[in-house]
Amino acid sequence: MKKILVTGGAGYIGSHVVKALGEQGYEVLVFDNLSTGNEWAVLSGRLVQGDVADRGALDRVLTEFRPDAVIHFAASIVVSESVAEPLKYYRNNTATALNLLEALQAHGVNRFIFSSTAAVYGIPEKIPVNEQSPLLPINPYGTSKMMTELLLRDLALANPLFRYVALRYFNVAGADGGNRIGQAYKNPTHLITRALKTASGTYPALQLFGTDYATPDGTCIRDYIHVDDLASAHVLALESLLAGGESALFNCGYGRGYSVREVVDVAKKITGVDFTVIEEERREGDPPALVADSSLIQSTLGWKPKHDDLEYIVGTAWAWEQKITGK
């Protein structure tokens, strides 16, 4: 049984990957400071509470657990916050990744999967965007993730034993099909979650940021990927690395985009609630459109997404929202 250390595994995406790893028979240890994660979300393995910035805690866990590979989720992820607090993002995302990589090298752990983002592309010239597109992030969040990708690239060049896969997520949404886990942030910023919380009465209105983009209806376009499909991509990336596969970068998305207005319409249809939407000015750091070309991960790892359906994505998120609000 292979041992997998998952940093940030009590968070939204991390917990779904931990669930998938458990279902595939891996022995999992989750290392999470629970700043945004939740103990109840860890459905497989065991949880050790700790911070990736704490080298002593990392050394203790690595000495005891001796993982075969590490999947690194722990990070700050709010684009608008990164613009307001850039140093927080370079510390939490880049500096802590460096600390983790130094610890892994000291303990001889040479298989690594990194939770990256489509934000590394900034405002791409061509849509859909592929992995060869220039990295031109327009906010500190994207830049902090790009810097970690560069750390991984250079480490792999310096150490032939070290192999990694960086998965560039597009917009992750939805919840576990079994309705056991889902998004549970105190202050969620994801559009679908905010829309559903508005439908449930948590918020009086949904803010729509920017109506003058160069898109068909003037609102931002995003590629939404169901969290269970993203979890399956992590399992395939892990299997590849453990089998001796080469380092790689992959986009994770469906290759189709939906505008903010289209998402709002689907949310209203699924919930049956005609909630209030307030149009606001653009937010700093938001690109007009981000849609993935994910043909590389499909051809290389055999990834076959099962939930490429916006209504299914919103439906699972709505079932989860009803569960946590008791409705």
- Is pLDDT of 57 > 70? yes
What separation, in Å, do the N-terminal and C-terminal C-alpha atoms of the chain show? 41
236 shares a domain with 272? no
- Is pLDDT of 73 > 80? yes
293 shares a domain with 145? no
Q: Find the angle CA(308)-CA(180)-CA(13) to the nearest 5 degrees.
A: 55
Catalytic annotation present for 254:
no
Asked whether residue 40 is domain-assigned, the answer is yes
> Position of tokens 């458990």?
22
Q: Which domain holds residue 300?
A: 191-222+255-325
Sign of CA pseudo-dihedral 25, 14, 64, 108: positive
Provide the domain count of the chain: 2
Shortest CA distance to 28 belongs to which of 58, 49, 7, 11? Answer: 7
Consecutive H or E run containing 58: helix 55-65
Residue type, 132: Q
- Is pLDDT of 6 > 70? yes
Asked whether residue 261 is domain-assigned, the answer is yes
Asked whether residue 186 is domain-assigned, the answer is no
What's the mean pLDDT in 164-186? 95
126 shares a domain with 84? yes
Catalytic-role residue among 89, 141, 164, 258: 141
Please identify, among 214, 233, 252, the residue that sits at the C-terminal boundary of a domain. Answer: 252
- 108-150 pLDDT tens trace: 999 999 999 999 999 998 999 999 999 999 999 999 999 999 9
Inter-residue contact 170 to 224 (CB < 8 Å): yes
Shortest CA distance to 113 belongs to which of 144, 67, 48? Answer: 67
Asked whether residue 89 is domain-assigned, the answer is yes
314 shares a domain with 210? yes
Asked whether residue 184 is domain-assigned, the answer is no
Angle of helix 227-242 relative to helix 12-23, nearest 10 degrees, comes to 60
DSSP characters for 194-251? HHHHHHTTSSS-EEEE-S-SSSTTSS-EE-EEEHHHHHHHHHHHHHHHHTTPPPEEEE
Measure the CA–CA gap between 93 and 117, rounded to whole angstroms: 12
CATH number, domain containing residue 80: 3.40.50.720
157, two tokens: 């060049």
283 shares a domain with 235? no
Please identify, among 252, 267, 291, the residue that sits at the C-terminal boundary of a domain. Answer: 252
Question: What is residue 327's predicted lDDT score, i.e. its pLDDT?
Answer: 58
- Average pLDDT over the chain reads 96
Measure the CA–CA gap between 131 and 137, rounded to whole angstroms: 14
Angle of helix 191-199 relative to helix 310-325, nearest 10 degrees, comes to 50
184, two tokens: 């549970």
Which pTM does this prediction carry?
A: 0.96
Residue type, 157: L
DSSP characters for 131-200? TTS----SSHHHHHHHHHHHHHHHHHHH-TT-EEEEEEE-EEE---TTSS-----SS---HHHHHHHHHT
Measure the CA–CA gap between 7 and 73, rounded to whole angstroms: 6
Asked whether residue 267 is domain-assigned, the answer is yes
Proportion of the chain above pLDDT 70, given as a percent: 100
- 181-233 pLDDT tens trace: 999 987 888 999 999 999 999 999 999 999 999 999 999 999 999 999 999 99
C-alpha count within 13 angstroms, C-beta hemisphere, residue 141: 21
Measure the CA–CA gap between 303 and 300, rounded to whole angstroms: 8
Burial environment of residue 13 by CB neighbours within 10 A (0 to 12, 13 to 18, 19 or more): buried
Inter-residue contact 68 to 104 (CB < 8 Å): no
In sequence order, what are the beta bridge partners of 290?
Answer: 222
Asked whether residue 178 is domain-assigned, the answer is no
Consecutive H or E run containing 36: none
